[in-house]
Structure 1
Amino acid sequence: MTTSSPPRQYYYVLDLVDDQESIAEYERYHQPGNVPPAVIQSMKQAGIQNMKIFRMENRMVLTMTVDDTFSNERKQSIDESSEAVQKWEELMWKFQKPLAFGQGYRPGTKWREMKVIFDLDQHLKP
């Protein structure tokens, strides 16, 4: 019997342009049925099992549950080869703004990976 490793979690942060009409439009684009099927398929192909985006004012947090095949590099390669994903990303750029802090990120980097600093499960293990 083979056992697979537990799903991995990733967390990212990004800001939206601070304009209520723009934020409302961004949310409409993310409602069920509004994200192009090819974009959803690209996520699944990259090994993303689930993704959620949370918003508080213009700050967003994205969570991803991924399988063993996922890597940021693999996802980037899949995204770059998809015309639909490229069009989607270009459209989303008008709503998003890169975070202005941090080192080691290329100019124009949007979603920034967050580091987990506390996990209750780790404190409960014997």
Structure 2
Amino acid sequence: MKRFCLTLDLKNDPELIKTYEHYHSRQAIWPEVIEGIKACGIYSMDIYRADTRLAMILEAQDDFELDAGFAKMSELPRQKEWAALMNRFQQKPPFAKPGEHWVPMQQIFELYGE
């Protein structure tokens, strides 16, 4: 299993943030989005928010490659529609490199029960 942590910012607008969170609720998220995430080899995904900063933690199969997985996901019909919708709410962090959207974070510490 591989684990990844990525970050992204939301636009600083309370109404947009409220709507963004609604779209990610169990009642509102599109089933096709969930299916697409799983079809790309991701089997666990969590998104956390602190103010406008998001952190996404995902777990995937050992052979999962982040860029290839996201590229595959972006080709799915409803994923394209979902991504376009989410772009209304999101903005790249100021430290994002050209072409980055969700920016991979570097792990600097880990603690496991031993």
Q: TM-score, normalised on structure 2?
A: 0.90
Q: How many residues align?
A: 114
Would the aligned equivalents of 2:74 and 2:80 in 1 still touch at CA under 8 Å? yes
**Amino acid of the residue matched to residue 106 of structure 1?**
P
What's the CA shift string for 1:51-90, capped at 9, x where partnerless? 0000011111100011124212332332232110000000
| Distance (Å, rounded) in 2 between the aligned partners of 1:115 and 1:37 | 30
State the match for 1:113 in structure 2.
104
Whose Rg is larger? 1
| Distance (Å, rounded) in 1 between the aligned partners of 2:72 and 2:27 | 22
1:51-62 superposed matches below 5 A? 51-62=45-56
**Amino acid of the residue matched to residue 25 of structure 1?**
T
The Cα shift of 1:18 comes to: 0.5
| Distance (Å, rounded) in 2 between the aligned partners of 1:75 and 1:101 | 23
* Structure with higher RCO (Cα < 8 A, 6+ apart): 2
- The runs of at least 4 aligned residues of structure 1 exceeding 6 Å deviation read none
In structure 1, list runs of 5 or more residues that go unmatched: 1-6
State the match for 2:62 in structure 1.
68
RMSD, aligned CA: 1.6
Task: Name the SS for the 1:50 alignment partner.
Answer: strand
Q: Does 1:14 align with 2:8?
A: yes
Would the aligned equivalents of 2:9 and 2:90 in 1 still touch at CA under 8 Å? yes
Identical amino acids, percent of aligned pairs: 29
State the match for 1:81 in structure 2.
75
Aligned counterpart in structure 2 of residue 90 of structure 1, from 84, 89, 99: 84
Would the aligned equivalents of 1:47 and 1:68 in 2 still touch at CA under 8 Å? no
In structure 2, list runs of 5 or more residues that go unmatched: none
**Amino acid of the residue matched to residue 87 of structure 2?**
W
**Amino acid of the residue matched to residue 113 of structure 1?**
P
| Distance (Å, rounded) in 2 between the aligned partners of 1:22 and 1:40 | 22
Q: TM-score, normalised on structure 1?
A: 0.82
